[in-house]
Amino acid sequence: MRYGANVLHHPARPVTELTPDIDQLLTDMVQTMYAAPGIGLAAPQVGVPLRIFVIDLSIGRDPHGLITMINPEFVERDGMQLEEEGCLSVPGFEATVVRPQRAVVKGLDREWNPVQLEGTGLLARAFQHEMDHLDGTLFVDRLRGIKRDLIVRKIKKLAKAGKW
């Protein structure tokens, strides 16, 4: 789903139970993320308004690099980093976004076991980026002023021309 799609702009619902459909959704999300290629993907980005994300900073190169998180919540966030960021739902656009330098997230893994993970740097950025998707926020929404206006205007122009 691309910026402007309704599902991307509303908070996602918690997952209430692990079902074969949820397991298949996770498989599909991982394949979609790797095919893009991207380092993270949230369920709303594939049109499903549930609190699930997948992250793999290695983009499939490290067999232990895949993180799947169901019903994630922040435990802690601190520090600050400013880096260029893009998004599979806003293709072709990047901007510098303020994110925490460190983030701790807890939730459930693919087998419905409780997990808590700590990330710094790029992983902390990915946690915040995907959590934003679950809350109905895209990185463009975190921008202010002319940078945000330029991106939104370009997207509207592309949409009007049938290219978005």
Length of the chain equals: 164
pLDDT over 90, % of the chain: 99
46 close to 1: Cβ distance less than 8 angstroms: yes
pTM recorded for the entire structure: 0.95
Question: At the fourth CATH level, which superfamily is domain 6-160?
Answer: Peptide deformylase (3.90.45.10)
Q: Which of 73, 85, 111, 130 is catalytic?
A: 130
Query: CA–CA separation, 45 vs 8, rounded Å?
Result: 7
Is residue 130 part of the annotated active site? The answer reads: yes
The tens digit of pLDDT for each residue in 28-48 reads 999 999 999 999 999 999 999
- Between CA 150 and CA 132 the distance in angstroms is 21
Half-sphere exposure of 47 (CA within 13 A, CB side): 3
pLDDT-derived band at 154, boundaries 50, 70, 90: very high
Contact (Cβ atoms closer than 8 angstroms) between residue 102 and residue 15: no
Percent of the chain whose pLDDT exceeds 70: 100
